[in-house]
Amino acid sequence: MVGVTDAVDAVDPDHRPAVLTGGLSIVALCLGVASSALYSSFVLAGGVAALLIVGVGLWMGSRRAVTIGCGVALAGLLGGGIQGVPPVPMLASVTATVLAWDAGHHAIGIGEQLGREATTARAELPHVGATVLVGLVAAVGSYVVFVAGPSGQPVAAVIAMLFGALLLLAALQR
C-alpha cells in the first residue's frame, strides 16, 4: 500500500503560488510602502497590514486576500494623500501596490496551473515587466495631469492618481 501512495504523491504537483512572482509581489509592496511611509502614519499602518494580509494570501493561495491586502494599502495611501504625501512618492507607492496585486494574482495562477516546482521564470518575468511598463506609463500620465491641472487641490490629485490606478487594474484584467 505504501508504494501506491508514494506514486500518487509524486505525480500531484504542489499547487501553491509561484515563488518568483510571489516574492516580487511582496518586494513591490514593501517598496510601495517605503516610498511614502515617511510622510504619513496612514501609509505605514495600511502598508504593514497590507503586507501581512498579502503574505497570508500568497501562503494560502488566496486571490481574495491578495486583493484585500492591496486594497488596504491603497486605503492607507488615500489617507496619506489627504495628509499631504508629495506626488512623486505617492505615484511610486500606488504603482508599486498595483504591481504587487498583479504579481500576487499571477503567482497564484501559475501555481494553480503548473505547480510551484515548475520552471516558469520565462512566463513570470515578461508578465511582471509588462506590468511595470504599463505602471510607469500610468504614473507618468498621472503626474502630467497633476502638473497641468489646477494647483492647490491635493485631494483632487490623489483622486486622479487612484483613478489612474483603477484604469491600470482594468487594463491588466483584460
In a domain, 68, yes or no: yes
For residue 157, give its domain range.
Answer: 15-173
Of 43, 81, 83, nearest to 164 by C-alpha is 81
In a domain, 6, yes or no: no
In a domain, 4, yes or no: no
What pLDDT, on the 0 to 100 scale, is given for residue 114?
Answer: 79
Burial label for 155, CB within 10 Å (0-12, 13-18, 19+), is exposed
Residue 18 DSSP symbol: P
Q: Residue 135: in which H helix or E strand, if any?
A: helix 121-148
Structural domain count, the chain: 1
In a domain, 77, yes or no: yes
What pLDDT, on the 0 to 100 scale, is given for residue 16?
Answer: 81
What pLDDT, on the 0 to 100 scale, is given for residue 145?
Answer: 77
In a domain, 66, yes or no: yes
What pLDDT, on the 0 to 100 scale, is given for residue 127?
Answer: 86
Residue-level pLDDT, tens digit, the chain, 174 residues: 555 555 555 566 777 888 888 999 999 999 999 999 999 999 999 999 999 999 999 999 999 999 999 999 999 998 998 888 898 999 999 999 999 999 999 999 888 887 777 787 888 888 889 889 988 888 888 788 778 776 665 666 666 666 677 677 666 665
Counted residue by residue, the chain has a size of 174
The whole-model pTM stands at: 0.79
In a domain, 8, yes or no: no
Of 52, 35, 44, nearest to 135 by C-alpha is 35
116-137: b (≥16 Cβ within 10 Å) or e? beeebeebbeebbeebbebbee
Of 121, 123, 72, 125, nearest to 101 by C-alpha is 72
What pLDDT, on the 0 to 100 scale, is given for residue 101?
Answer: 94
In a domain, 116, yes or no: yes
Is residue 155 within 8 Å of residue 84, measured between CB atoms? no
Instruction: Name the residue with cell 516574492.
Output: 23
In a domain, 5, yes or no: no
